[in-house]
Amino acid sequence: MELAVHEDEKVTRRSFLTYLIASAAAFIAATLGTSTAIFAASPLINQRRGARVSLGSVSGFQVGKPRVVEFSLSRRDGWVVEDAVKSVWVVRTSENAFITYSPRCTHLGCAVSWVPDQQAFKCPCHGGVFSIEGEVLSGPPPRPLDRLDNQIENGKLVVDYKEFRLGIPEKLEA
């Protein structure tokens, strides 16, 4: 069937309403489709990233003496903003070299503590023991303590704080 449009044809009320309803439906479909696509892609766009945190002056850390440093982070979840107290272990290995560790045992996430008499980090929950270099000495942890990147900026130690998945041999961000 062939449709022919002639100049002398008039737009009827019925055809005008048909065009109007079709246009409105197309607009609604495009709007919903775009919104759905943005919602579906948002985890890729809004990936959670770590936070850069200043841990204080480098002069506040002694070589070979691990020290825990606490700080506060604001986390936004939708409309809710929460302040959470976090911490890292800092080991100064030389004048300008530092190792920063996540304070969580890689087994189940319990907080490790430094035991000076044994020169080791210990997990109180399941007996995980880590060397000052973060290596597993004993217990169930599947990998060494998670190291965090750090830099010295204007005389201050700055860490790139991140959290990692627990209980697996690979170091993957949570």
CA dist 16 to 13, 23, 144, Å? 5, 11, 71
CA dist 12 to 19, 20, 145, Å? 11, 12, 76
Which pLDDT tens digit goes with each residue over 31-74? Answer: 888 888 887 776 666 555 568 899 999 999 999 999 999 999 88
Amino acid 7: pLDDT: 60
Amino acid 46: pLDDT: 55
Which of the 8 DSSP states describes residue 116? T
CA-nearest of 102, 94, 96 to 68 is: 102
Cα separation of 21 and 30, whole Å? 14
Q: Mean pLDDT across the stretch 116-132?
A: 93
Amino acid 45: pLDDT: 60
Helices (H), the chain: 13-45
* Residue 61 in tokens: 């850390």
Which pLDDT tens digit goes with each residue over 65-110? Answer: 999 999 998 877 777 888 889 999 999 999 889 999 999 999 999 9
Amino acid, res. 50: G
Q: Where are the beta strands (DSSP E) in the chain?
A: 51-57, 67-77, 80-94, 97-101, 113-115, 120-122, 129-130, 136-138, 147-148, 150-153, 156-161
Q: Is the pLDDT of residue 173 over 70?
A: yes
